[in-house]
Amino acid sequence: MFNPGVTHRDGLFHLLYRAVSADDRPPEYVSRLGYATSADGIEFTRQGAGPVFEPGPDVPYDRHGVEDPRITVLDGTVYVTYVAIDVPALTRSKLSRTALAVTTDFTSFERLGLLTPLPDIDDRDWALFPQRFDGRYVMLTRPQSVNDRLEYVKWRTTDEPAGIWLATSPSLTRWVMDPAGGNPEEVRGLAPQQPWEGVKTGIGPPPIETDDGWLAIYHGKDRDNAYYGGLALLDRDEPSRVVARLPEPFLRPELPWERRGDLDDCVYPSGAVVKDGTLFVYYGATDDKCGVTTAPLDGVLKELRRHPARSG
């Protein structure tokens, strides 16, 4: 169990986690989602004996797995983005796409369909902002492939490290990255800058609104295939603009259970909650465990203000 999405409502922390059973280890490796709750955000109790969200045998786009949930509450609706696997998960050169579902109770879900607009785009990190901007829904995402039509990420070159971009939609169904005028700087968000994120960056939990801007928690991967957790602030009104960013990771694979597992040296932030001034960040560790780390939100923002974003 790993890579959990988390939210807090009705006095409880609600956690959806990705799980793989012993019977589904390689070569099948089918992922499903489980559900757990907590009063304090630390000690969780699993709800039910089985998964709450499973691959749909009659749903072509996720019939081989549902992975890496992120939870956003927007206008009272609980949205869950998840990675949809349409071929066996360990298929060489498979492409991952992202889908959207809604729930009212974290045990039953309505699928709303795929978010990734093209079949030959690999795009597995989507996080929905908890508010609309000028009437439009906004996501952070990480496209990794280009195609000969180039209508989705037409300005990205194939040798550029994969980074975090902004996508918008009027209806949650058709997402675009091409702003008016086609200026990529208007939609480019968190490109890799430091060695610890030199291979790629990907958004983690949905951004959190603060007085200083939107707190973006993301992962970076280095050239030794280790994963880290990063922090940045996005402008409150123009979330494509990065206003501050820590040059060093706030989360590193350090503990033994963060260093050895199904994927060594991997900490992968995927859920976050602010409760009574404390920031809770939930993460997957080595692709087989869930972890949490906490810090005073004021201290996190104070440290970010010391590192205004550099251009480029």
Choose the weakest-confidence range: 93-97, 132-136, 223-227, 304-308: 93-97
Domain membership of residue 87 (yes or no) is yes
DSSP bridge partners of 176: 168
Taking residues 73-78, report their average pLDDT.
Answer: 96
Stronger pLDDT, 168 or 264, i.e. the higher one:
264
What pLDDT, on the 0 to 100 scale, is given for residue 181? Answer: 42
Residues 35 and 47 sit within 8 Å (Cβ to Cβ):
yes
Residue pair 152/142 in contact by the 8 Å Cβ criterion: no
| Average pLDDT estimate for 72-97 | 90
Distance CA 54, CA 285 (A): 22
CATH number at residue 118: 2.115.10.20
151 falls within a domain? yes
Compute the average pLDDT of residues 273-302: 98
- Provide the 3-class DSSP secondary structure of residue 301: helix
Q: What is the pLDDT of residue 106?
A: 97
Taking the CA of residue 139 as centre, how many other CA atoms within 13 Å lie in the half-sphere pointing to its CB?
Answer: 33
Domain that holds residue 208: 2-305
Does residue 282 or residue 97 have the better pLDDT? 282
**The pair of three-digit structure tokens given for residue 186, joined into one six-digit string:** 């208007």
Structural domain includes residue 123: yes
Mean pLDDT of 115-122: 72
105 is a domain residue: yes
Q: What is the pLDDT of residue 233?
A: 96
Q: Is residue 99 part of a domain?
A: yes
Q: How far is CA 177 from the centre of its chain?
A: 18
Average pLDDT, the chain: 88
Does 311 map to a domain?
A: no
Does the CA dihedral 188-190-194-199 come out positive or negative? negative
Q: Is the pLDDT of residue 32 over 70?
A: yes
CA distance 143 to 96: 10
Cα Rg of the chain, angstroms:
18
Q: What is the DSSP string of 251-299?
A: B---SHHHHSSSSSSBEEEEEEEEETTEEEEEEEETTTEEEEEEEEHHH
Residue 150 has pLDDT above 60, yes or no: no
185-220: pLDDT as tens digits: 444 678 889 999 998 899 999 999 999 999 999 999
Residue 276 has pLDDT above 50, yes or no: yes
Residue 310 lies in a domain: no
Q: What per-residue confidence (pLDDT) applies to 301?
A: 98
- pLDDT given for residue 162 in this prediction: 78
73-85 mean pLDDT: 96
pLDDT of res. 173 = 81
Residue-level pLDDT at 68: 97
Distance of alpha carbon 141 from the chain centroid: 8
Q: In the chain, how many domains are there?
A: 1
pTM, rounded to two decimals: 0.92
Answer for the pair 284, 272: CB distance below 8 angstroms, yes or no.
no
- Tell me what pLDDT residue 119 has: 65
**Residue 99 confidence (pLDDT):** 95
Decide if 172 is inside a domain: yes
Task: List phi, psi (to 5°) of 236.
Answer: -65, -35
Residue 168's alpha-carbon distances to 177, 235, 275, in angstroms, are: 7, 16, 29
Spatial neighbors of 278 by CB under 8 A, at least 6 apart, are 294, 295, 296, 297
Say if residue 155's pLDDT is above 60. Answer: no
| Secondary structure letter of residue 207 according to DSSP | P
